[in-house]
Amino acid sequence: MIRAWGVGFIILLIADTMVVVATVIKIYPRALMLLLRISPFIAAFVSAYLSPRRKVIMGTSMAIPTALLGVLVTFAYQLFGKEVDFPGIEGGLIVFVVSLAYGAVLCAIGGIVGYLLSMLIMTRKMNKEQPL
């Protein structure tokens, strides 16, 4: 289960790092912003799919690192002199709460989809192994 959660976290970390680096070097591709927005879903999907049990909970738990990384990205922008919508500690709390709510919805959906896909694949494998 730790491996499944770790893979999901790495997906989130890569997406957030790519966006910060692109912003620092002044490249603003819209595809990276799309990746940032859907990375919680992808991380939850992969985490739930790889988890041996409690798949939906594992996927939904990706909402917490989504929110924490959102705060870290905001602080990183501030350190590099970029303007952010919610600066400072109070702004970080606002970003955390909003990111947690947004992440919870996307991660729950990703966790459910990962669970359903793993069950579908397991069912197909079981049906192939049964003789007719």
Residue 25, number of CB atoms within 10 A of its CB? 8
Position 112 scores a pLDDT of 97
- pTM > 0.75: yes or no: yes
Residue 61 lies in domain: 2-129
Q: Give pLDDT tens digits along the chain (132 positions).
A: 899 999 999 999 999 999 888 888 888 777 888 888 999 999 999 999 999 999 999 999 999 999 999 999 999 888 888 888 888 899 999 999 999 999 999 999 999 999 999 999 988 888 887 665
Instruction: Say how many domains are in the chain.
Output: 1
Long-range contacts of 32-41 (CB under 8 A, 24+ apart): 38/106, 39/11, 39/12, 39/15, 39/66, 40/12, 40/66, 40/102, 40/103, 40/106, 40/107, 40/110, 41/106, 41/107, 41/109, 41/110
Q: Which residues contact 68 (CB under 8 A, 6 or more apart)?
A: 96
Rounded Cα gap, residues 126 and 109, in angstroms: 26
**Pick from 36, 47, 46: nearest CA to 13:** 36
